Structure 1
């Protein structure tokens, strides 16, 4: 008689099903909210446009022509810049730059900040005495000013820009997760886990981190909006992504000198920045309300 010794995968499959159902429920609640739906549509369309830029961009974003500062219409749907480059193509590729930089920055900063927040909030003591004052010092400086100082010290370029923004966004994640960890650590089920001999690592990943997912998700979304804005600001100052690679900030900077002759080289990237930041902020605000049962009940969701 052959005995089936394969491990029972039903608990893992049930957990995966619950996570999927929870994700779909969150998406449904966001879609039911008018503001959240607008933010979600903006974000999805922007990500799709950036991902498909090589397919949908009508021209090479660096290709120059003799139609300098051309008005929208004709050969160029949104007009051309001072070098005769298609603004639509440059805006699409600029979206790739802004999203790529922002995603790398917020993901790396989130990973480091979450780890620091968990250590400070769970262990307290010596670790908390080091991590919390360090993040408080960084919070004393405005986000753009701190990023500007780091980039100015290291020099312009994509790598230095990413490094500067990672340093800027770490404290936000660390503070959010630290507060959640301190709160959850006092819950009876955590104390019960300690009583039965669960290790601190097991407690963190079994109880603390799962209860931090909601605030981390909200912080991640709103940080993307801020990262896009700061990246564009540094690009405007010439300290971000360097030409000929298109970015919304550098497009805005180069177009300001020709405002009297054509407003479109400045209007197009400016509107792109506004829409991107608006989309992530709307999505982040709705996500916060959806993931917090108290706010959801108050707003009637």
Structure 2
């Protein structure tokens, strides 16, 4: 008797989690697009991200190339005008977006990963771990955000690496506090106690119950932190403590253009408008994401 070894097709329940996740993601996207404010924010973020990613292809000039047309007005050879060194403002704005988005994304991702880990440890295990982490985050919250970042950069010196390090330190407490609060509330739920009763390890409980319940506040905090990181990066660049020349940065462009406001406003207006649009886009997206992920706010907005 010959037995045929035929692999059985995957059972429907094996692909159910991924299918449910995909449906939930599409539903979330539809809710965001249906909201006018969210749609505007999403369009701004997508356009700005595309412009930053494609800057080497769509920038008309080398952002560091100088010319004799210093402080040229918009039009002619330069669509948005030229700065005090005759450099194309459009090209520098595109590369400045590339700098700001890259720095902000690295900062918020690293700060989010560290802050989420600290928040989970403090909120789930409590005890001595919480007694160390929570006071440390409270102390950091007592300092103004920009002042704390300025102190770190001033102590270590200007430069991209030190800027990223300073901003990571600044943004860690926000993520840690949010996740700690979620962990404190979820750890008391009956299903967590049931999981502990059947012998699930602490790591399994955190990954199965605590972390999924923290996804919504983490996502909102991530989006709004990107806007704030862009603003602080530009502020430090304006003070000369951020990304150093000749690499374009919206903050340094704004700083160098302020000395020529009486002759030409465009070297300051262009980066200022870019900062405003970027911060507005991420804030609108974050507000809409909060409303969509919170069922109470979603129901209120649907009425």
Normalised TM-score (structure 2): 0.97
Taking the aligned partners of 1:9 and 1:111, their CA distance within structure 2 comes to 34
Matched residue, 1:136: 138
Matched residue, 1:260: 262
Matched residue, 1:110: 112
Matched residue, 1:204: 206
Alpha-carbon shift at residue 12 of structure 1 (Å): 4.3
Taking the aligned partners of 1:9 and 1:136, their CA distance within structure 2 comes to 49
Structure 1's unaligned 5+ residue stretches are none
Alpha-carbon shift at residue 20 of structure 1 (Å): 1.1
Structure 2's unaligned 5+ residue stretches are none
1:224-264 CA-to-partner distances (Å, cap 9, x unmatched) read 00000000000000000000000000000000000000000
Taking the aligned partners of 1:191 and 1:213, their CA distance within structure 2 comes to 21
Matched residue, 1:251: 253
Aligned pairs for 1:73-88 within 5 A = 73-88=75-90
Aligned pairs for 1:94-243 within 5 A = 94-243=96-245
**In structure 2, the residue corresponding to 1:60 is in which secondary structure?**
coil
Taking the aligned partners of 2:221 and 2:115, their CA distance within structure 1 comes to 11
1:132-169 CA-to-partner distances (Å, cap 9, x unmatched) read 00000000011100000000000000000000000000
Matched residue, 1:47: 49
Matched residue, 1:15: 17
1:48-69 CA-to-partner distances (Å, cap 9, x unmatched) read 0000101110000000000000
- Greater CA drift, 4-13 or 75-84: 4-13
Taking the aligned partners of 2:11 and 2:288, their CA distance within structure 1 comes to 35
4+ long deviations beyond 4 Å: 4-10
Taking the aligned partners of 1:11 and 1:132, their CA distance within structure 2 comes to 41
Residue 278 of structure 2 corresponds to residue 276 of structure 1: yes
**In structure 1, the residue corresponding to 2:51 is in which secondary structure?**
helix
Normalised TM-score (structure 1): 0.98
Taking the aligned partners of 1:266 and 1:16, their CA distance within structure 2 comes to 48
1:246-294 CA-to-partner distances (Å, cap 9, x unmatched) read 0000000000000000000000000000000000000000000000001
